[in-house]
Structure 1
Amino acid sequence: MARHAALALSFIPAFAERIGTLVATGLIVGESLMGVLFAGVVARTERAGAENSGEVLALVEHFAWAVPLGLVLFFGSTAWLYSWTRGQAKDAPLHEEAMGGTGGA
């Protein structure tokens, strides 16, 4: 039954558009926050007197394991987020509830 409700929601264009807009907004805000965080790290290293403050987070030879670890964390996080989102979709309201209507004409 819950699977049927989630499947029904996937065919509602307005609901899909709202979710798509919400996800896109989240990506934009996330990128902005990462930029602010990186700027803060660079500013702190400049204040501390580092020579190459812009490269403070660059990968170096001694940490060759960082790239594979980053890939594992990225794909693991993506898989977890996908499964969490599917679980949330199963509990999502039906069409009338999602659109704020009462179902009457």
Structure 2
Amino acid sequence: MTCSTCEDFSQPRPIRLPADLTSAILLLQAAVAQGRLTVLPAYSATYTLPAFSTLDAEGPWHEIVENRFACTACGQKYLLSAETYHGHGGSLEVMTAP
């Protein structure tokens, strides 16, 4: 469940174009800088994922972008995921499972 600190992340944001990913990264960078979200450790059993701190909003991006965040007030978790190389898109959305 979201709170007033993270409510602007409560609706899924589809990523269909590079501009959508740029927008999501800039939004998340601002929220982290404001102390509203914290970056959670990146983990994937399949891919080596770059840290969010190294992610350039304008690219170039790794083939897979996958970063997790948590609200500093309520703990709600969010996932930014995108498959950039083949253009399959992705999303910025609430995580419903760990």
Larger RCO of the pair (alpha carbons < 8 Å, separation 6+): 1
If each structure's helix is expressed as a fraction of its own residues, which one has the higher value? 1
If each structure's strand is expressed as a fraction of its own residues, which one has the higher value? 2
- Higher CA-based Rg: 1
Normalising by the residue count of structure 2, what TM-score does the alignment of the two structures yield? 0.25
Normalising by the residue count of structure 1, what TM-score does the alignment of the two structures yield? 0.24
